[in-house]
Structure 1
Amino acid sequence: MADTLDILHVFRAPVGGLFRHVRDLALAQSRAGHRVGLLCDASTGGDMAERRLRELEARLAHGVRRIAMPRLPGTGDAAAIKAVRTHV
């Protein structure tokens, strides 16, 4: 592929159907030659999510980053936005 993209998927929960969808999409994009990374919540998912994210990180050019992303809007949102900006 002549034109490669830098892609960052930002989402909260590293579990469930959304995670499976993003994982499959990110892997397909990586196989297509794009440089892909994930940024998701650090406070959810437990041991299973940690294991799955470690496996995925090895296959993504931009890796996996986890930051605190509260589920409900609040004062922590500004910190989460700032943290996301450091990875974009």
Structure 2
Amino acid sequence: MGVHKRQARARGALSAVAAAGLVTGLVTLSGGSASADPVKLTQKYTCKFPIINNDPIEVEITADMPATMKVGETVPEYDIKAVTKVSARA
């Protein structure tokens, strides 16, 4: 898989996490009560490395979002973390 395709998938995954945060904020602003569980997404890819060629990698994206928010409350900042695991060969 090419670098551009991996980057596009990673951007798509991050967009999904960001969209979840945006929906939480919109529900809060619209007068309802918002609730969200922590978000976790794992993607598996094959990456072409110099010298060793193709090797599997795994990307785990997590976001620590508030479980609930009160109506009219500003959505606080929350962390989005992405961790990439590579094989011992890499």
Normalization by structure 2: what TM-score? 0.32
Task: Identify the structure with the greater helix proportion.
Answer: 1
TM, length-normalised to structure 1 = 0.33
Structure possessing the higher radius of gyration over alpha carbons: 2
Structure with more of its chain in strand, by fraction: 2
